[in-house]
Structure 1
Amino acid sequence: MPRRREARPLAEHYGDLVRVALMEARPAGLHTYQLMTATRLTRSQIGRGIRHVRDVVAAEDLTPITWTRRDGFMFSDDPADWIEYDKRQFRQILGRLTRVITGTLDPHLARYPDDEWAQLATAQLTGVRATLAQLSK
Protein backbone atom coordinates (compact mmCIF):
# COMPACT_ATOMS: atom_id res chain seq x y z
CA MET A 1 0.00 0.00 0.00
CA PRO A 2 1.53 3.35 -1.00
CA ARG A 3 2.42 5.69 1.79
CA ARG A 4 0.51 8.97 1.82
CA ARG A 5 2.65 12.01 1.52
CA GLU A 6 2.06 14.65 4.17
CA ALA A 7 0.89 17.92 2.75
CA ARG A 8 3.09 20.89 3.52
CA PRO A 9 1.43 24.00 4.81
CA LEU A 10 0.44 26.21 1.90
CA ALA A 11 2.48 29.20 3.08
CA GLU A 12 5.61 27.04 3.00
CA HIS A 13 4.80 25.84 -0.52
CA TYR A 14 4.10 29.39 -1.72
CA GLY A 15 7.25 30.60 0.02
CA ASP A 16 9.34 27.99 -1.77
CA LEU A 17 7.94 29.07 -5.15
CA VAL A 18 8.54 32.75 -4.37
CA ARG A 19 12.07 32.07 -3.10
CA VAL A 20 13.02 30.12 -6.22
CA ALA A 21 11.64 32.86 -8.51
CA LEU A 22 13.53 35.56 -6.62
CA MET A 23 16.74 33.53 -6.60
CA GLU A 24 16.48 33.02 -10.36
CA ALA A 25 15.97 36.75 -10.88
CA ARG A 26 18.99 37.75 -8.78
CA PRO A 27 20.48 40.34 -8.68
CA ALA A 28 17.34 41.94 -10.11
CA GLY A 29 14.07 41.98 -8.22
CA LEU A 30 10.53 41.06 -9.20
CA HIS A 31 7.33 43.00 -8.76
CA THR A 32 4.20 41.24 -7.55
CA TYR A 33 2.76 40.81 -11.05
CA GLN A 34 6.08 39.35 -12.24
CA LEU A 35 6.07 36.92 -9.30
CA MET A 36 2.51 35.98 -10.20
CA THR A 37 3.60 35.20 -13.77
CA ALA A 38 6.75 33.32 -12.71
CA THR A 39 5.04 31.20 -10.05
CA ARG A 40 1.46 31.03 -11.36
CA LEU A 41 0.25 32.04 -7.91
CA THR A 42 -2.46 34.59 -7.12
CA ARG A 43 -1.70 37.96 -5.52
CA SER A 44 -2.89 36.59 -2.17
CA GLN A 45 -0.72 33.51 -2.47
CA ILE A 46 2.28 35.69 -3.36
CA GLY A 47 1.64 37.69 -0.18
CA ARG A 48 1.57 34.52 1.91
CA GLY A 49 4.72 33.29 0.20
CA ILE A 50 6.55 36.58 0.82
CA ARG A 51 5.57 36.46 4.50
CA HIS A 52 6.86 32.90 4.74
CA VAL A 53 10.13 33.89 3.09
CA ARG A 54 10.51 36.80 5.52
CA ASP A 55 9.59 34.74 8.58
CA VAL A 56 11.50 31.54 7.84
CA VAL A 57 13.63 31.36 4.72
CA ALA A 58 15.45 34.69 5.05
CA ALA A 59 16.49 33.84 8.62
CA GLU A 60 17.73 30.40 7.58
CA ASP A 61 19.64 31.68 4.54
CA LEU A 62 20.81 34.85 6.31
CA THR A 63 19.71 36.97 3.35
CA PRO A 64 16.84 39.35 3.97
CA ILE A 65 14.20 40.02 1.37
CA THR A 66 13.76 43.70 0.59
CA TRP A 67 11.30 45.70 -1.48
CA THR A 68 11.62 48.92 -3.42
CA ARG A 69 9.14 50.63 -5.68
CA ARG A 70 11.64 50.52 -8.54
CA ASP A 71 12.92 46.93 -8.21
CA GLY A 72 10.14 45.10 -6.38
CA PHE A 73 11.02 42.19 -4.08
CA MET A 74 14.60 40.99 -4.09
CA PHE A 75 17.34 39.17 -2.25
CA SER A 76 20.17 41.67 -2.02
CA ASP A 77 23.69 41.02 -0.81
CA ASP A 78 24.27 44.72 -0.18
CA PRO A 79 23.89 45.75 3.49
CA ALA A 80 23.03 49.30 2.33
CA ASP A 81 19.86 47.89 0.72
CA TRP A 82 18.97 46.14 3.98
CA ILE A 83 19.49 49.30 6.03
CA GLU A 84 17.41 51.44 3.66
CA TYR A 85 14.60 48.87 3.73
CA ASP A 86 14.74 48.69 7.54
CA LYS A 87 14.57 52.48 7.80
CA ARG A 88 11.49 52.57 5.56
CA GLN A 89 9.85 49.92 7.74
CA PHE A 90 10.65 51.89 10.91
CA ARG A 91 9.20 55.07 9.36
CA GLN A 92 6.01 53.19 8.53
CA ILE A 93 5.71 51.80 12.07
CA LEU A 94 6.49 55.25 13.49
CA GLY A 95 3.64 56.75 11.47
CA ARG A 96 1.16 54.15 12.71
CA LEU A 97 2.31 54.52 16.31
CA THR A 98 2.10 58.31 16.13
CA ARG A 99 -1.49 58.04 14.91
CA VAL A 100 -2.36 55.74 17.83
CA ILE A 101 -0.86 58.21 20.29
CA THR A 102 -2.38 61.36 18.80
CA GLY A 103 -5.70 59.83 17.72
CA THR A 104 -6.46 57.58 20.68
CA LEU A 105 -4.25 58.02 23.71
CA ASP A 106 -4.04 61.83 23.73
CA PRO A 107 -7.84 62.27 23.58
CA HIS A 108 -8.21 59.51 26.20
CA LEU A 109 -5.86 61.36 28.56
CA ALA A 110 -7.51 64.70 27.83
CA ARG A 111 -10.87 63.29 28.85
CA TYR A 112 -9.63 61.10 31.74
CA PRO A 113 -6.27 62.54 32.88
CA ASP A 114 -6.08 60.25 35.94
CA ASP A 115 -6.44 56.99 34.00
CA GLU A 116 -3.38 54.97 35.03
CA TRP A 117 -3.47 52.67 32.03
CA ALA A 118 -3.54 55.54 29.53
CA GLN A 119 -0.70 57.27 31.41
CA LEU A 120 1.39 54.08 31.36
CA ALA A 121 0.69 53.41 27.68
CA THR A 122 1.55 57.00 26.74
CA ALA A 123 4.78 56.95 28.74
CA GLN A 124 5.91 53.64 27.26
CA LEU A 125 4.93 54.45 23.69
CA THR A 126 6.56 57.87 23.82
CA GLY A 127 9.88 56.09 24.43
CA VAL A 128 9.23 53.66 21.59
CA ARG A 129 8.29 56.58 19.35
CA ALA A 130 11.59 58.35 20.11
CA THR A 131 13.55 55.15 19.37
CA LEU A 132 11.77 54.59 16.06
CA ALA A 133 12.39 58.21 15.09
CA GLN A 134 16.12 57.71 15.65
CA LEU A 135 16.22 54.39 13.80
CA SER A 136 14.39 55.76 10.78
CA LYS A 137 16.91 58.60 10.21
Structure 2
Amino acid sequence: MPRASRRRGDAALRHADTLRFVLFEARPAGLLFHQLTRASDLTPSQARSGLAALRDVIADQGWPPLIWSRSDGYQIGAERAALEAYERKVIKEKLTEFRRFITGTVAPHAAAHPGDKWVRHITAQLNSIESTLDLVNSY
Protein backbone atom coordinates (compact mmCIF):
# COMPACT_ATOMS: atom_id res chain seq x y z
CA MET A 1 0.00 0.00 0.00
CA PRO A 2 1.48 3.37 -0.98
CA ARG A 3 2.22 5.76 1.80
CA ALA A 4 0.13 8.88 2.17
CA SER A 5 2.08 12.04 1.54
CA ARG A 6 1.36 15.46 2.89
CA ARG A 7 2.77 16.77 -0.36
CA ARG A 8 -0.15 15.74 -2.53
CA GLY A 9 -1.30 19.19 -3.54
CA ASP A 10 -1.74 20.29 -7.14
CA ALA A 11 1.54 22.22 -7.10
CA ALA A 12 3.51 19.20 -5.80
CA LEU A 13 1.95 17.00 -8.49
CA ARG A 14 2.90 19.52 -11.20
CA HIS A 15 6.45 19.60 -9.85
CA ALA A 16 6.50 15.78 -9.79
CA ASP A 17 5.43 15.68 -13.43
CA THR A 18 8.15 18.17 -14.35
CA LEU A 19 10.79 16.14 -12.51
CA ARG A 20 9.61 12.90 -14.10
CA PHE A 21 9.94 14.46 -17.55
CA VAL A 22 13.43 15.80 -16.78
CA LEU A 23 14.58 12.45 -15.32
CA PHE A 24 13.23 10.50 -18.29
CA GLU A 25 15.09 12.86 -20.63
CA ALA A 26 18.32 12.23 -18.71
CA ARG A 27 17.98 8.43 -18.74
CA PRO A 28 19.97 6.24 -18.34
CA ALA A 29 22.14 8.78 -16.55
CA GLY A 30 20.97 10.33 -13.32
CA LEU A 31 20.94 13.94 -12.17
CA LEU A 32 22.39 15.36 -8.99
CA PHE A 33 20.00 17.56 -7.02
CA HIS A 34 21.47 20.85 -8.24
CA GLN A 35 21.35 19.57 -11.83
CA LEU A 36 17.76 18.47 -11.34
CA THR A 37 16.70 21.88 -10.02
CA ARG A 38 18.53 23.65 -12.84
CA ALA A 39 17.11 21.40 -15.57
CA SER A 40 13.57 21.59 -14.18
CA ASP A 41 13.69 25.32 -13.38
CA LEU A 42 12.27 24.53 -9.92
CA THR A 43 13.45 25.93 -6.61
CA PRO A 44 15.08 23.46 -4.20
CA SER A 45 11.92 23.47 -2.07
CA GLN A 46 9.72 22.79 -5.10
CA ALA A 47 12.05 20.00 -6.21
CA ARG A 48 11.97 18.33 -2.77
CA SER A 49 8.18 18.56 -2.71
CA GLY A 50 8.02 17.24 -6.27
CA LEU A 51 10.35 14.32 -5.46
CA ALA A 52 8.14 13.30 -2.50
CA ALA A 53 5.02 13.50 -4.68
CA LEU A 54 6.80 11.68 -7.53
CA ARG A 55 7.60 8.73 -5.25
CA ASP A 56 3.90 8.50 -4.36
CA VAL A 57 2.80 8.75 -8.00
CA ILE A 58 5.34 6.09 -9.01
CA ALA A 59 3.97 3.76 -6.33
CA ASP A 60 0.36 4.45 -7.35
CA GLN A 61 1.02 3.93 -11.06
CA GLY A 62 3.43 0.99 -10.81
CA TRP A 63 6.11 2.88 -12.75
CA PRO A 64 9.86 2.13 -12.55
CA PRO A 65 11.30 3.21 -9.18
CA LEU A 66 13.10 6.41 -8.37
CA ILE A 67 16.46 5.88 -6.66
CA TRP A 68 19.29 8.11 -5.51
CA SER A 69 23.02 7.56 -5.24
CA ARG A 70 25.80 9.92 -4.30
CA SER A 71 27.65 9.34 -7.56
CA ASP A 72 24.75 9.33 -10.05
CA GLY A 73 22.09 11.39 -8.29
CA TYR A 74 18.40 10.70 -8.97
CA GLN A 75 17.51 8.03 -11.54
CA ILE A 76 14.26 6.51 -12.78
CA GLY A 77 14.27 2.93 -14.01
CA ALA A 78 17.83 2.03 -13.07
CA GLU A 79 19.34 -1.38 -13.78
CA ARG A 80 19.00 -4.25 -11.34
CA ALA A 81 22.46 -3.78 -9.80
CA ALA A 82 21.78 -0.10 -9.06
CA LEU A 83 18.37 -0.94 -7.57
CA GLU A 84 19.88 -3.61 -5.32
CA ALA A 85 22.70 -1.31 -4.20
CA TYR A 86 20.14 1.41 -3.35
CA GLU A 87 17.94 -1.04 -1.43
CA ARG A 88 20.93 -2.37 0.54
CA LYS A 89 22.04 1.17 1.36
CA VAL A 90 18.59 2.18 2.62
CA ILE A 91 18.24 -1.00 4.72
CA LYS A 92 21.66 -0.39 6.29
CA GLU A 93 20.73 3.24 7.06
CA LYS A 94 17.41 2.23 8.63
CA LEU A 95 19.09 -0.49 10.68
CA THR A 96 21.58 2.04 12.04
CA GLU A 97 18.77 4.52 12.72
CA PHE A 98 16.73 1.91 14.64
CA ARG A 99 19.75 0.76 16.65
CA ARG A 100 20.58 4.32 17.67
CA PHE A 101 16.96 4.96 18.63
CA ILE A 102 16.83 1.77 20.69
CA THR A 103 20.13 2.35 22.49
CA GLY A 104 19.82 6.12 22.86
CA THR A 105 16.14 6.54 23.74
CA VAL A 106 14.20 3.35 24.31
CA ALA A 107 16.79 1.50 26.43
CA PRO A 108 17.24 4.40 28.88
CA HIS A 109 13.44 4.75 29.06
CA ALA A 110 13.13 1.01 29.78
CA ALA A 111 15.82 1.23 32.48
CA ALA A 112 14.07 4.17 34.13
CA HIS A 113 10.57 2.63 33.93
CA PRO A 114 10.94 -1.18 33.74
CA GLY A 115 7.29 -1.95 34.50
CA ASP A 116 5.83 0.47 31.94
CA LYS A 117 3.51 -1.35 29.53
CA TRP A 118 4.28 1.06 26.67
CA VAL A 119 8.05 0.69 26.94
CA ARG A 120 7.80 -3.13 27.03
CA HIS A 121 5.61 -3.03 23.92
CA ILE A 122 7.80 -0.61 21.97
CA THR A 123 10.97 -2.52 22.96
CA ALA A 124 9.53 -5.78 21.68
CA GLN A 125 8.37 -4.21 18.41
CA LEU A 126 11.63 -2.37 17.75
CA ASN A 127 13.70 -5.46 18.55
CA SER A 128 11.60 -7.35 15.99
CA ILE A 129 12.19 -4.67 13.38
CA GLU A 130 15.92 -4.60 14.17
CA SER A 131 16.11 -8.38 13.86
CA THR A 132 14.31 -8.38 10.51
CA LEU A 133 16.46 -5.58 9.07
CA ASP A 134 19.62 -7.28 10.35
CA LEU A 135 18.57 -10.52 8.67
CA VAL A 136 17.90 -8.73 5.35
CA ASN A 137 21.13 -6.75 5.67
CA SER A 138 23.20 -9.92 6.09
CA TYR A 139 21.76 -11.54 2.95
**SS of 1:28's equivalent?**
coil
Count of aligned residue pairs for this structure pair? 130
Residue 120 (structure 2) aligns with: 119
Residue 68 (structure 2) aligns with: 67
Structure 1 residue 41 corresponds to structure 2 residue 35? no
- TM-score, length-normalised on structure 1? 0.87
Contact 1:65-1:73 at 8 Å conserved across structures: yes
**For residues 128 and 58 of structure 1, what CA distance do their matches in structure 2 show?**
23
**SS of 1:67's equivalent?**
strand
Give the unaligned 5+ runs of structure 2: 1-8
Residue 55 (structure 1) aligns with: 56
Superposed counterparts of 1:1-137, under 5 Å: 9-137=10-138
Give the unaligned 5+ runs of structure 1: 1-7
- CA deviation profile, 1:70-92 (whole Å, cap 9, x unmatched): 10000134222222211211122
Contact 1:19-1:53 at 8 Å conserved across structures: yes
Letter of the 2:84 partner, please give it: I
**For residues 59 and 127 of structure 2, what CA distance do their matches in structure 1 show?**
31
Find runs of 4+ consecutive structure 1 residues off by over 3 angstroms: none
Change (3 A) 1:61 1:24: farther
Contact 1:88-1:136 at 8 Å conserved across structures: no
Alpha-carbon deviation of 1:15? 0.2
- Higher deviation after alignment, 48-57 or 73-82: 73-82
Letter of the 1:38 partner, please give it: A
Alpha-carbon deviation of 1:134? 2.1
- TM-score, length-normalised on structure 2? 0.86
Percent identity between matched residues is 37
Structure label with greater radius of gyration: 1
- CA deviation profile, 1:23-59 (whole Å, cap 9, x unmatched): 0000000011111111110111111111111111354
